């Protein structure tokens, strides 16, 4: 008999940016059933969010301690099994830690924590708990990103000689130039966001994508960050040169002050035989570039794609796959792990991706603060 994984949410209320994505994604493959959680710090809004979804109000809690205490009293087949942590960054660590220690699987938003030390501790706890821990680097769920991973890793580009990952947004412009408006943005507050805004929020996606598709480990970074104003404590733009452990050179360019840009996440990898380009705003097109030949455009759902890519497609070719599908594919991968089914490690980012991401953020900020020097990653 098909049983759904009972899912809880922390954050992701109707007032949030990311909640709707997780809600729809978790339902897409019939793997999960959202049962309860804490959707909002305001009790009224918390209940309202739950009511809109049609949840039993008894499963909507005021805080995490109450949620854990009540849920673990329930018979195993009734209680929440996995929890999605969708709050601002500063809460990820304490929430995920308590969840693991009390036997819940965790699906956590990025960045994993606000410090590398916290991430290390969480990694240890996760290993001891033997619970599934997914980190939702959403973009790895796109079929053509998975195809790109398979092509790069199987040598279609030849030896990799340049990696260029750009993530440009402009959304922070209306806030950053005005002190009062700046205070409204939690991503600009180190207490809630951690030591970085731009690199933490989107540079971390670019870093994880680099390692996800190439299989190469970044060994060191040299960062030049842009805070725009002396009284602004958080970076809103930055360029990070990196070298992989094997010596491949690359660059991560991230910005939230790229005026007019929306979510321009563009990944370009060049080998000595061919190059490849993928753009998040047109995620169904993967460009394969060869010297002296017309460029090829690969699209989702065709038999020339890898199993990992084909697994991530639900409809016949020509029906565009979007961000909801990408997140759903990550939920699908985590569900396989929770149900002890076999899965490919490319199907969902793990706590190790989260840990590596925190190392990248901290070492990049350190590099910038020390005067743009090379800093080794762990
Ligand atoms: N994977 C991605 O592409 C992606 C995209 C956007 C955001 N994110 C991440 O998702 C997380 C949330 O970001 P957002 O933009 O949705 O933030 P948001 O401010 O829009 O929403 C945060 C939600 O958490 C709730 N909340 C705050 N404190 C809480 C608590 N103690 N208990 C329960 N709920 C609480 C808020 O009421 C709100 O519903 C961040 O870590 C962010 O980095 C990831």
- How many CB atoms within 10 Å of residue 72? 13
Per-residue pLDDT for 372 more than 90? yes
Span 143-312+351-369 CATH architecture: 2-Layer Sandwich (3.30)
Ligand 1: does its nearest atom lie under 6 Å from the Cβ of 46?
no
pLDDT band at 280 (very low <50, low <70, confident <90, very high): very high
pLDDT score of 2 more than 90: no
% the chain with pLDDT above 70: 100
Checking if the pLDDT of 43 tops 90, the result is: no
Whole-angstrom CA distances from 165 to 54, 254, 284, 296 are 41, 8, 18, 20
**Arch. (CATH architecture) of 5-138:** 3-Layer(aba) Sandwich (3.40)
HEC secondary structure over 35-74: EEEECCCCHHHHHHHHHHHCCCHHHECCCHHHHHHHHCCC
Reported as a pLDDT band with limits 50, 70 and 90, residue 220 is very high
At residue 1 the predicted structure's pLDDT band, cuts being 50, 70 and 90, is confident
Average confidence score pLDDT of the chain: 97
The DSSP code sequence of 315-360 is S-TTS---HHHHHHHHHHHHHHHHTT----GGGS-BHHHHHHHHHH
Q: Is residue 291 scored above 90 in pLDDT?
A: yes
Q: pLDDT tens for residues 150-168?
A: 999 999 999 999 999 999 9
Q: 343: which 2 tokens?
A: 């899965």
Q: The sheet that has 249-255: what strands, in order across it? A: 296-298, 286-289, 275-279, 264-271, 160-168, 249-255, 237-244, 218-226, 375-376
Question: Whole-model pTM above 0.85?
Answer: yes
List for the chain the helix, strand, coil content (%; round to 5).
40, 20, 40
Query: Length of the chain in residues, anyone?
Result: 378
Mean pLDDT of 221-240: 97
3-state secondary structure of 368: helix
The yes-or-no verdict on residue 15 having pLDDT over 90 is: no
Task: Label residue 358 by pLDDT band (50, 70, 90).
Answer: very high
CATH 3.30.360.10 spans which residues of the chain? 143-312+351-369
Q: Does any ligand 1 atom lie closer than 6 A to the CB of residue 15?
A: yes
Q: Is the CB of 140 under 6 A from ligand 1?
A: no
- Calculate how far, in angstroms, residue 16's C-alpha sits from the geometric centre of ligand 1: 6
Residues of the chain with CATH 3.40.50.720: 5-138
Tell me how far the alpha carbon of residue 341 lies from the centroid of ligand 1, in angstroms. 30
- For residue 135, give the nearest of 156, 104, 172, 110 by alpha carbon: 110
Q: Give dist(CA 201, CA 252) in Å, integer.
A: 13
SS3 163: strand
């Amino acid at each position: 008999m098909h049983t759904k994984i009972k899912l809880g949410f922390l954050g992701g209320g109707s007032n949030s940016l990311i909640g709707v994505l997780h809600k729809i994604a978790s339902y897409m493959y019939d793997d999960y059933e959202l049962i309860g959680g804490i959707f909002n710090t305001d009790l009224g809004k918390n209940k309202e969010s739950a009511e809109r979804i049609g949840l039993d109000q008894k499963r909507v809690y005021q805080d995490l301690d109450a949620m854990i205490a009540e849920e673990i009293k329930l018979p195993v087949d009734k209680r929440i099994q996995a929890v999605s942590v969708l709050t601002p960054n500063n809460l990820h660590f304490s929430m995920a830690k308590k969840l693991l220690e009390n036997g819940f699987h965790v699906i956590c938003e990025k960045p994993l924590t606000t410090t590398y030390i916290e991430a290390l501790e969480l990694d240890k706890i996760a290993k001891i708990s033997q619970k599934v821990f997914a980190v939702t680097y959403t973009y790895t769920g796109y079929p053509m990103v998975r195809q790109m991973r398979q092509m790069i890793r199987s040598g279609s580009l030849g030896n990799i000689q340049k990696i260029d990952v750009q993530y440009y947004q402009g959304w922070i412009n209306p806030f950053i130039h005005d002190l009062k408006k700046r205070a409204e943005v939690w991503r600009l507050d180190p207490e809630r966001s951690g030591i970085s805004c731009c690199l933490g929020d989107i540079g971390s996606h670019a870093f994880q994508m680099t390692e996800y598709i190439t299989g190469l480990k970044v060994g060191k970074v040299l960062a030049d960050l842009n805070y725009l104003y002396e009284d602004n404590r958080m970076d809103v733009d930055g360029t990070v040169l990196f070298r992989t452990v094997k010596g491949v050179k690359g660059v991560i360019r991230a910005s939230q002050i790229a005026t007019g840009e929306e979510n321009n996440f563009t990944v370009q990898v060049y080998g000595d035989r061919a190059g490849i380009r993928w753009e998040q705003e047109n995620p169904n097109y993967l460009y394969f570039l060869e010297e002296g030949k017309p460029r090829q455009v690969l699209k989702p759902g065709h038999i020339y794609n890898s199993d990992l890519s084909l697994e991530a497609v639900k409809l016949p070719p020509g029906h565009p796959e979007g961000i909801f599908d990408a997140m759903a594919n990550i939920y699908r991968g985590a569900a396989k792990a929770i149900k002890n089914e076999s899965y490919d490690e490319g199907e969902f980012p793990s706590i190790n991706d989260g840990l590596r991401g925190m190392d990248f953020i901290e070492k990049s900020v350190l590099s910038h603060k020390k005067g743009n020097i090379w800093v080794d990653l762990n």
